[in-house]
Structure 1
């Protein structure tokens, strides 16, 4: 309450300062020669058009009221003013802004039910020009929260965590702005898929409305996605949206977190993950809408939250789900898929001798071929064949991915129950942040682990040197040249800012998320060495990790492990689950 009151007061001070500065600027303009402005054809046309068709005028290049009773005589003008300012791309005259603030009581149930007022608001919200600026002006004037009362409840609402940088209302306004940036191609380098598919949407208007309301129920005891969908079902018909558009908006609001959660905390190489997500989405149009909304939502959280790795995860989930929804996925048996993958790889590494390639292919179980990409298999084949030729028992491969924002470190080593803990410890001591891990065991008793590290340096050469140092530390641990205690003594200290937050630890064990693996989800406060501690405990429980998916939301860590118990079976024993 204190922070909300503080922000509201600071907002009032800012608004007053803006009015005073605008008044001083207008006063300065009135003392300057006005002949040039008078003769400017665009200015003259704007003035003439406004005077003939509305109760407003252009005064010194700013939109102003024609008389003091503009709003009392026609309250729709409180919405029309912002629509005209957006349409003609003009600033507000301080007198107009002052009169708006003094007329807020005119925004009542009657105005909110007015068809023209709602049509103007939707035009403004879905403007092809700059809807973010228009919405921010309405919010600063106090109009937005009164015209959409549910929005008014989240104005200046703080989110007390390290993940969200802005108040809820600012986050929603920024979400609409990022959506507009994507539509205009200003984000094509970072979001090529979203930029490509947005012009193909059939539900553009529904997407903009969903972006505006997706967090509108924050701060309630009920799940804000469920409550927000209910608000959307009431609000959309009032705004003039059709029944189909209303259903689309409410569905997007209810499921606006799903794609991010699936992408960051589920195994995208597991067919069950894709099937579960496809059952939620149900149509290609919804898939496109949800991808774009998810991108805008994450980007609007704050600077530094979006990264290339999140983008890659979302793109992978999108491309894996699209053929399932279209009904065009290939119906191949597990054996046929494995054979096709091996044949594809052989064509990519035709310089490797046949005998060496045959030995490499024979090392792996079918799961390896179905869970790794061809590019990864190419690097693994060259790494292992080279190590075999040298008679080496340990090998590493590094590949920096600038666009995805990660560096991939592959480790080939004698299998060890604590190998992933060693890897996590080496990464922790070097300050590297693991965002994902894929673990495979070969038929000759080796481990082939692929670790994805969050990118730290701009230059790929620096990233590769850092990963090479981590690989050297892992080799020393495997060969027992150093102990894990020596490595972990170098771990960085916890951030002081984390001490202000608490996250109730939670462990969820689920056998329904994968056909063959048990999924363990751990929610707790983030800290250096957390992944090392978790993987060590899992190893102590005699569980084998098939993949790990690491996500951090400010102070909160969400680590998900796909594991098997003895005999490579799911963990179904209640006593083992409790342990």
Structure 2
């Protein structure tokens, strides 16, 4: 019946695709998905209509895939099974033959429903078992309905489930098997609701259930030496965790609240608390897991949206974390989550940000929360280290005192001593009245692996930031971090960390440094600011991302934070910078985050006096202008796209 019904559903989808497109279109592209949801009369609710429709689609694909796999395994088993294969009896219910575990009788689950979980405990504890025999799979599917309220309330079954999370072999594989055969979704009904649930965007590469098991897989990988190169910090931390099962449970529940409406972190935390306490974990362990689920997005947001070179920002985060154990668990969960969201998301850039935040927070916790490191201490230490480096190169202390007299404190707070020395030495040999000083170097000399670091010293102007953005975008570079400093002598010192959009490094393009310098010089001195006009990919055009603009005050840093969320498109940073240049505000820094078809940009702004923006009328007008500018961008058609094939 399932095979027939599934075939009928796919036939209807295929017919609808052909009718909509007027051709033999068998690709379920993003824009087609929205149209199909309308044809099926699905309406938006807690989940978008397209997400509801695609959940039905994914569940049918999963069911049909399982049936096909089962059929293939039946054939393989019959063709490969040796008549005289050795049978190893485990007990009265299960035995092993040809590395397959199988039921010894058809009533194995009806007589003892707990075997629905014990089966996976046995597999996870036996390195020689790598498959479930086809008839036993059939029995699993037939009897999974026995997992009901009484089953879930059984202390024996709860103990078995915790055993599964602690098996030494292929624990993630067991969870995936449990999900595939309907066991996991029945034992954890909240997990059952996210099976096949997609998120209609380019950022999340997997359905929520597949993402969850991938995150758990990453936490397991942290325990293995062969993943040290990819996750050097996580593997070191994970091996010293007091109880890795707490990390696995947090990973299992971190997104389980999605699709219900409301804050999925809070909803998932409620489920996690109930699970932990009902499964016999201590109150302190339950509190830790609950806190991790509630805050599983926090570390990523701080690392990518805040100025983590500011000791006060680190102190604030350290106070939230409170102790080293929480920091260790949160770091490993966050890295596992990022790496499990999209194969391309965990890169050297995010790795360096996360490592910096972890290291600085760990130091703050070691000093004690009652002994915070002050800004003055950091500035003094940075100046001292930079002075020593420059004196070694022949600079006199009085020369440095004069050279740095026009610099603001933020420059010495946010820049590294070696970068300050690099800047100072170059500025001493250059007159910006003859043109901007532009320095370019590869990440081997910077804290951001694989990024290109660009330093620009030029005469300050309201549109300097926008002009530099235009130059970099014309060369297909994406800006990930920017630090802007206005000197009291009328000049500006700007640092950019950029990545090539094709993933290549500066070393791969021998002429790139010269090309970057020429492009920036031309943009800075060209009469008209040139904006970028390129086609928006078809995949991105399928999504409607309304622009949101939010202002908040950073009382610790003394700046105003501008957060912009909008659709990604060519020329975006230039447009943003151009609007800001028309107001009496200065950009002190920027954090740029691209999440599929959406960008989340954070700007740190100051008024003409260097303080926070306090004029509400100006803020409202700036907000309206930004929304009007960004929502008014046109999107050209494109024909390239490839998503799901039917």
Counterpart of 2:387 (choices 340, 346, 356) is 346
2:455 is the alignment partner of 1:415:
no
Q: SS of the counterpart of 1:183?
A: coil
The whole-number CA distance in structure 2 between the counterparts of 1:127 and 1:386 is: 64
Structure 1 residue aligned with 2:68: 17
Deviation of 1:8 (Å) = 1.1
Q: SS at 1:474's partner residue? A: helix
Flag the 1:573–1:458 CA change in 2: closer, same or farther, 3 A.
Answer: closer
Shift of 1:302: 1.9
2:586 pairs, out of 538, 544, 551, with: 544
423, 427, 436: which one aligns with 1:380: 423
Deviations 1:60-94 (A, max 9, x none): 32100011111011101000111111221321100
Partner residue in 2 for 1:296: 336
Matched with 1:81 is 119
Taking the aligned partners of 1:520 and 1:561, their CA distance within structure 2 comes to 5
Secondary structure of the 2:173 match is helix
Within-5 A mapping of 1:70-469: 70-89=108-127, 90=129, 91-328=131-368, 334-349=375-390, 350-354=392-396, 357-387=400-430, 393-401=435-443, 404-455=449-500, 456-462=502-508, 465-469=511-515
CA offset at residue 286 of structure 1? Answer: 0.7
Supply the distance in 2 between the matched residues of 1:465 and 1:209 (Cα, whole angstroms): 50
Unaligned runs of at least 5 residues, structure 1:
39-43
- Tell me, what secondary structure is at the counterpart of 2:441? strand
Instruction: Determine if contact 1:75/1:107 at 8 Å carries over to the other structure.
Output: yes
Deviation, 1:333, is: 5.9
Q: 1:427 deviation in Å?
A: 1.5
* Matched residues, number: 561
Question: How far, CA to CA, are the matches of 2:238 and 2:277 in structure 1?
Answer: 24
Structure 2 partner of 1:41: none
Q: Is the 8 A contact 1:520 1:562 kept in 2?
A: yes
- 1:376 aligned counterpart, secondary structure: helix
CA distance in 2 between partners of 1:340 and 1:140 (Å): 57
Does 2:524 correspond to 1:478? yes
- SS of residue in 2 equivalent to 1:134: helix
Q: 2:611 & 2:349 partners in 1: Cα distance?
A: 31
1:66 paired to 2:94: no
- Hey, what's the Cα distance between the residues in 2 that align with 1:284 and 1:439? 33
Cα deviation, residue 235, structure 1? 1.3
SS at match of 1:562: strand
Q: What per-residue deviation string (whole Å, max 9, x for no partner) do you get for residues 510-534 of structure 1? A: 1145431111111111111111111
Identify which range, 96-105 or 241-250, moves more after superposition. Answer: 241-250
Supply the distance in 2 between the matched residues of 1:175 and 1:345 (Cα, whole angstroms).
42
- 1:178-237 Cα distance to aligned partner (Å, 9 max, x none): 110111133322222111111222242211100111000100111100111011111112
Alignment partner of 1:433: what SS?
A: strand
Query: Partners in 2 of 1:498 and 1:229 — Cα distance?
Result: 33
Query: Per-residue CA shift, 1:139-193, capped at 9, x if unaligned?
Result: 1101100011110000111111110011100000010101101111333222221
CA distance in 2, matches of 1:425, 1:289: 41
The answer to whether structure 1 residue 5 and structure 2 residue 46 are counterparts is no
Q: 1:516 aligns with which of 558, 580, 589?
A: 558
Deviation per CA, 1:307-334, whole angstroms, max 9, x where unpaired?
1111111111112222222334876665
Q: Distance in 2 between matches of 1:504 and 1:445?
A: 38
Contact 1:168–1:215 (8 Å) recurs in 2: yes
Q: TM-score, normalised by structure 2?
A: 0.83
How do 1:518-533 and structure 2 match up within 5 A?
Answer: 518-533=560-575
Distance 1:251 1:467, change over 3 A: farther
What are the superposed Cα offsets for residues 243-278 of structure 1, whole Å, 9 maximum, x if unpaired?
A: 111111111111100111111111112334223322
1:548 partner SS? strand
Report if aligned partners of 2:470, 2:574 keep a CA contact under 8 Å in 1: yes
Q: 2:77 aligns with which of 26, 48, 53?
A: 26
User: What is residue 545 of structure 2 aligned with on the other side?
Assistant: 503
Please give the alpha-carbon distance, in whole angstroms, between the structure 2 residues aligned to 1:532 and 1:73: 69
Residues 1:127 and 1:376: Cα distance change in structure 2 (over 3 Å)? farther
Superposition CA RMSD, Å: 2.1
CA contact (8 A) 1:551 1:557 kept: yes
Contact kept in structure 2, 1:278 and 1:324, CA below 8 Å: yes
**TM-score if structure 1 supplies the norm length?**
0.92
Give ranges in structure 2 of 5+ residues lacking alignment: 1-51, 622-646
Alpha-carbon distance change, 160 to 15 in structure 1, aligned in 2, over 3 angstroms: same
Indicate if the aligned counterparts of 1:407 and 1:464 stay in contact, CA closer than 8 A.
no
Q: Is the partner of 1:186 in helix, strand or coil?
A: helix
How far did residue 358 of structure 1 move? 4.3
In the alignment, the residues of structure 1 paired with residue 220 and residue 375 of structure 2 have an alpha-carbon distance, to the nearest angstrom, of 43
Residue 575 in 1 paired to residue 617 in 2? yes
How far apart are residue 344 of structure 1 and its match?
A: 0.7
